[in-house]
Chain A
């Protein structure tokens, strides 16, 4: 009996059936309630996220941020949402109305649906799909489609240009992201999100898959349109990018989705590389696991907010070059190095048996992989340093030529 009380959602179907409800209906009701809980959670959370983002950005810029509506300005975003709801909604003449109206809904849908496979605690997960990792990468790329729909249907040149740029950048950064995901999958031997967390009971994957974690973090910054990759809304060049023609609540959905997506990306990072809900006592008290997961996510999310408020934006050619000429080669080398080292540790007999939850048993293999990762980073950094030096010397040469042509003293003289 006690066992049944741990997870109300999972035991609801048998309970309802035993009290005389049709089994199919009981199953449906339990699924429906689970879905509503999981899907509403990010939508409610986003109100808090936007407040947090504004507060952090304000502190970085030596301002106070929202502080009038409610305690610490907490209700500011509810007021903003009300304002957006009663604002006039303008669909520009010549826009493709159906696609124009669908785009914000699909954007939100793609982010919300990622939450279906996130394990919140040992027993609380929307659904533990056996292909969870593939599922969230696939669902995540629907967001790219929504941006293209928004940009194309607006019938606005800025919007279209922004959408083209964003889609080119997003599909590019998906390649290192998925390549980075191969490594945890290889170590854990599973694609299910819950099993990935269970596989990290002995050792968080950030140690044996350090390069992957970095790649995943960087490409997620780009995927979610965060600085320094926030070309999605290059205000100064593209006015606002793909959502320029949107107003009222449709714009609000796009904005809320952006914050939600950024948080979701960090949540996935915490699940895949930082052990998700794992921590002392999490298996006994599921609520603790939930708290651990969100503490870990917060520890990642707040630095990303500070990063956003600090760094300047890169150019689109630099962004694409950085991806295809640095991240993708590094990701490929990383997969090969890890695959090789996994075979080596297996041959040496220091690989832990699958499902080993002891820290010390996992340590030798993790250390070997960590050293391999550090070597990969060292080589990659050395190469990018040489490349950068070469690029700088070429550029300064060009600067001298231009300066001489214009007969002005250049900085190099």
Chain B
């Protein structure tokens, strides 16, 4: 298959991947009962009415993990071409890769020392 056809396959796949899970929802929409009332639609809580707003500012730790992840994920993308061509690369390329991985590790150690990895 040519490159265009390969991605055409993914495109068609993506279109159908929306259709397949939507079908049972649609069938359910046809057959299910609709007896909504205000109490049934309340937000689920433990025996009391829910207090305050849900969409509030949240614990910062989650965002820090998100940032650390972002650093790693972007750097990992750069490592994939290196890994793919590794069979043809010489020792210099190994050293260059090592330097890059060292920078990655450096970021991890920095985050660790700054207690960004503690669940506090």
Interchain CB contact under 8 A, A93 and B80:
no
Nearest Cβ on chain B to A239's Cβ, whole angstroms? 7
**B55: chain A residues within 8 A (beta carbon):** 152, 155, 160
For B43, give its contact among A92, A182, A332, A354 (CB under 8 Å): A92
Interchain CB contact under 8 A, A189 and B86:
yes
Interchain CB contact under 8 A, B54 and A113:
no
Interchain CB contact under 8 A, A320 and B28:
no
Q: Pick from A36-44, A54-62, A65-73 the stretch touching chain B.
A: A36-44
For B24, give its contact among A128, A183, A253 (CB under 8 Å): A253
A239 to B44, CA, bound (A): 10
A156 to B27, CA, bound (A): 27
Nearest Cβ on chain B to A34's Cβ, whole angstroms? 7
User: Would A32 and B12 be within 8 Å (CB), given that A88-B35, A92-B44 are in contact?
Assistant: yes
A109 at interface by CB-CB < 8 Å = yes
Interchain CB contact under 8 A, A31 and B9:
yes
A357 at interface by CB-CB < 8 Å = no
Interchain CB contact under 8 A, A39 and B20:
yes
**B29: chain A residues within 8 A (beta carbon):** 89
Nearest Cβ on chain B to A238's Cβ, whole angstroms? 11
Residue on A nearest B63 in the bound complex, by CB: A168
**A121: chain B residues within 8 A (beta carbon):** none
**B114: chain A residues within 8 A (beta carbon):** none
Considering only residues 370-407 of chain A, those with a C-beta below 8 Å from chain B are none
Nearest Cβ on chain A to B4's Cβ, whole angstroms? 10
For B76, give its contact among A38, A39, A168, A178 (CB under 8 Å): A178
Nearest Cβ on chain B to A366's Cβ, whole angstroms? 15
User: Would A179 and B76 be within 8 Å (CB), given that A86-B28, A167-B62, A171-B66 are in contact?
Assistant: yes
Interchain CB contact under 8 A, A175 and B72:
yes
**A249: chain B residues within 8 A (beta carbon):** 24-25, 27-28
**B86: chain A residues within 8 A (beta carbon):** 186, 189, 339, 342
Interchain CB contact under 8 A, A88 and B34:
yes
Number of residues on chain A facing chain B (CB within 8 A):
87
Q: Pick from A266-274, A288-296, A300-308, A321-329 the stretch touching chain B.
A: A321-329
For A332, give its contact among B24, B88, B105, B111 (CB under 8 Å): B105
Nearest Cβ on chain A to B44's Cβ, whole angstroms? 6
Interchain CB contact under 8 A, A343 and B80:
no
Interchain CB contact under 8 A, A109 and B14:
yes
A255 at interface by CB-CB < 8 Å = no
**A36: chain B residues within 8 A (beta carbon):** 16
User: Would A34 and B69 be within 8 Å (CB), given that A85-B27, A152-B55, A332-B104 are in contact?
Assistant: no
Interchain CB contact under 8 A, A253 and B21:
yes
Nearest Cβ on chain B to A56's Cβ, whole angstroms? 25
Interchain CB contact under 8 A, B32 and A88:
yes
A172 to B86, CA, bound (A): 26
A182 to B87, CA, bound (A): 13
**A84: chain B residues within 8 A (beta carbon):** 28
A134 at interface by CB-CB < 8 Å = yes
A49 at interface by CB-CB < 8 Å = no
Nearest Cβ on chain B to A361's Cβ, whole angstroms? 15
Interchain CB contact under 8 A, A128 and B17:
no
Interchain CB contact under 8 A, A185 and B9:
no
**A90: chain B residues within 8 A (beta carbon):** 36, 40-41
Nearest Cβ on chain A to B73's Cβ, whole angstroms? 7
User: Would A191 and B84 be within 8 Å (CB), given that A104-B21, A116-B13, A168-B66 are in contact?
Assistant: yes
Interchain CB contact under 8 A, B24 and A343:
no
Considering only residues 244-265 of chain A, those with a C-beta below 8 Å from chain B are 244-245, 248-250, 252-253
A123 at interface by CB-CB < 8 Å = no
Interchain CB contact under 8 A, A329 and B13:
no
Interchain CB contact under 8 A, A40 and B20:
yes
A238 to B68, CA, bound (A): 26
For B22, give its contact among A105, A168, A328, A336 (CB under 8 Å): A105
Nearest Cβ on chain A to B33's Cβ, whole angstroms? 5
Nearest 10 pairs between A and B by C-beta? A317-B119, A108-B21, A249-B28, A189-B87, A127-B9, A171-B69, A93-B41, A109-B17, A186-B83, A186-B86
A116-B9, A332-B105 known, 12 other contacts, Cβ within 8 Å: A85-B24, A90-B36, A92-B44, A105-B22, A112-B17, A133-B80, A168-B65, A174-B69, A191-B84, A324-B68, A328-B72, A332-B101
A to B CB contacts below 8 Å, 16 in the list = A28-B8, A32-B12, A35-B13, A87-B28, A105-B18, A105-B21, A109-B17, A116-B13, A126-B9, A164-B62, A171-B73, A175-B72, A185-B84, A332-B108, A335-B101, A343-B90
